[in-house]
Amino acid sequence: MVPNPTQRKDEYHHYIPRFILRTFADNFSLKAPDYIASTSVIFLKSALPPDWELIGSGGPKKKGKKGKKTNKNQKKYEIKVYQVVDQTTALNDVARSYGNRDMYRDITEDDCMRFEDLLAKMEDTSSTFTRKIWTGEDLSLTRVQLTELKKFLAIMSYRSENRRNQYYEDEFNPQTRELIYNHMRHKNIIRIQDVWFDNLKWLIKTPTEEIMKEFKKAVFSPMHYKGSIHVAELLDFGGSCTNYMCIWQAEEGTEFILSEGCFGAWEGDIHDPFHTFYVVSPRYCIVLVNRLEMWRPARYLPFRSWFEGSVHAFPETVYKKGLPPSTPDMDFFSPGDVFKYRRIVIPKEDVYFVNSIFLDARKRCLTYNSSVSMYKTLRYYDKMKTARPDLFNNRHDYSVLRRQLVTDMNRTHPYPETPQ
């Protein structure tokens, strides 16, 4: 018997992965024995024998009374969360930060678990590669692994609170709303809120090759496209998968921050962003770069990217079939081709600008690790929202947070110089 959706127990789903949130905790360490690459319990449980389970910080153990008691000793990670509404900063448990209770409301438990299981398998590839970024290891991905990583990032962007709320609160302009209504008639969907999950379901369970075939159909005639997913989301997803990837490392003394919309935030034209950001720790950010921006034709467009200088690098590519011909066809490329990435150290002004994008777009909360770096970010944002109001539409006031940060710094460093 399929459970009634209303009978399903309350669940908490993260729209920023927990393995990333933990890096903002003061007690996070890459050397910690309880760190594992995949943090998806659903996926890990499926890989264990039936008489084993995940318990505490010691990894998998056989079920038993003694083992179950150790679950109370599981390491707790807390991160600083600034709440916009009451303008206060407090330590929050990662287990209950940057997520939604009952994200899949009105969805049966069987469907929910099935899609979370598929997502967890993609998260495993992502978390393994992300750990290599943190630890300074060689950054190599096969073509198949790179495709899976991009798919995971694109799905997490779509699964975010901001995108979900667009559908649940019907926050669309008239033209987009009419396209969604056309799609609803095509799919016999009654409520606009149900389109969000229908799109998510199709993206998660459909192989990337099939998604890209649909993308190629839609890109030439988006207004007339009729398929399994709303065309705007298909074009967004396909654009993410065709972008290049770069790994940005914050200049020494600076750090990236988090907001509820930072995982998939972008810079550039709304229809074709130049850079899309996925912060994976205070020090590192995965960036998907538009092909036009990567190859530099974007220099001749009326709208220019803010980022200049050496913030891009093509990966070194090792082709399984040897050196490519001058005009290779698709048959030349192999799933076993390897892409080798390097970490690109970006200047502090670029780190502050990325953070300022998050500051301007935030709705409910922010997270930072270093009080000093956050203070400098706020000073930069205050300067830029005045100098470039065209880039920052909301121009929020963070004077209360700035005073809190000064108090913090004075408490931890009794005689500091005022940060510049």
| Both tokens assigned to 190 | 């009654």
Using alpha carbons, list the distances in angstroms from residue 187 to 182, 363, 377. Answer: 9, 32, 46
Q: Is the dihedral of CA 51, 30, 132, 358 positive or negative?
A: positive
In a domain, 279, yes or no: yes
Residue 387 in this model has a pLDDT that exceeds 60: yes
Asked whether residue 228 falls in the same domain as residue 259, the answer is no
pLDDT tens track for 287-302: 999 988 888 765 666 6
From 192, 217, 241, give the residue that closes a domain.
Answer: 241
In a domain, 338, yes or no: yes
Mean pLDDT of 38-42: 36
Q: Is the dihedral of CA 3, 195, 166, 157 positive or negative?
A: positive
| Residue 233 neighbours by CB under 8 Å, 6+ apart | 158, 199, 203
Asked whether residue 277 falls in the same domain as residue 288, the answer is yes
pLDDT at 323: 81
Radius of gyration of the CA atoms of the chain, in A:
22
Using the 8-state DSSP alphabet, how is residue 9 labeled? P
Look at phi and psi of residue 184 and say left if phi exceeds 0, alpha if psi is from -120 to 50, else beta: alpha
Query: Residues of the chain with pLDDT > 70: what percent?
Result: 80
Mean pLDDT of 387-402: 93
pLDDT at 367: 98
pLDDT at 355: 98
Asked whether residue 322 falls in the same domain as residue 307, the answer is yes
Mean pLDDT of 382-394: 92
Mean pLDDT of 146-173: 90
Name the residue range of residue 330's domain: 243-366
Confidence tier at 368 by pLDDT (50, 70, 90): very high
pLDDT tens track for 303-334: 778 887 789 999 999 998 888 777 767 778 89
In a domain, 98, yes or no: no
CA distance 325 to 332: 9
Asked whether residue 233 falls in the same domain as residue 132, the answer is yes
pTM of structure: 0.84
pLDDT at 5: 44
Q: Which of 105-114, 167-176, 177-186 has the lowest mean pLDDT?
A: 105-114
Write the burial class of residue 156 (CB in 10 Å: 0-12 exposed, 13-18 middle, 19+ buried): buried
Highest mean pLDDT: which range of 94-103, 202-211, 373-382 = 373-382
pLDDT at 92: 95
pLDDT at 59: 39
How many structural domains is the chain composed of? Answer: 2
Asked whether residue 134 falls in the same domain as residue 156, the answer is yes
From 241, 266, 288, give the residue that closes a domain.
Answer: 241
Asked whether residue 181 falls in the same domain as residue 204, the answer is yes
Asked whether residue 253 falls in the same domain as residue 175, the answer is no
Asked whether residue 273 falls in the same domain as residue 321, the answer is yes
pLDDT at 316: 96
In a domain, 325, yes or no: yes
Asked whether residue 178 falls in the same domain as residue 255, the answer is no
| Residue 28 neighbours by CB under 8 Å, 6+ apart | 22, 77
| Both tokens assigned to 295 | 């190859």
| Both tokens assigned to 54 | 């995940």
Of the two residues 112 and 5, the one the predictor is more confident about is 112
CA distance 374 to 378: 6
pLDDT at 10: 59
Asked whether residue 237 falls in the same domain as residue 328, the answer is no
Residue 195 in this model has a pLDDT that exceeds 60: yes
Residue-by-residue DSSP string for 156-168: HHHTSHHHHHHHH
In a domain, 361, yes or no: yes
Residue 32 in this model has a pLDDT that exceeds 60: no
Asked whether residue 149 falls in the same domain as residue 255, the answer is no
Residue 419 in this model has a pLDDT that exceeds 90: no
In a domain, 64, yes or no: no
| Both tokens assigned to 290 | 């538009």
| Both tokens assigned to 351 | 């780190």
pLDDT tens track for 328-358: 677 788 999 999 999 999 999 999 999 999 9
Write the burial class of residue 149 (CB in 10 Å: 0-12 exposed, 13-18 middle, 19+ buried): buried
Strands 244-250 and 343-346: parallel
In a domain, 330, yes or no: yes
From 351, 366, 381, give the residue that closes a domain.
Answer: 366
pLDDT at 55: 31
Residue 257 in this model has a pLDDT that exceeds 90: yes
Asked whether residue 261 falls in the same domain as residue 302, the answer is yes
In a domain, 155, yes or no: yes
Q: What is the mean pLDDT of the chain?
A: 83
pLDDT tens track for 115-133: 777 777 788 878 899 999 9
Confidence tier at 214 by pLDDT (50, 70, 90): very high
Q: Which residues of 328-361 are buried (b: 16+ CB within 10 A; e: fewer)?
A: eeeeeeeeebbbebeeeebebebbbbbbbbbbbb
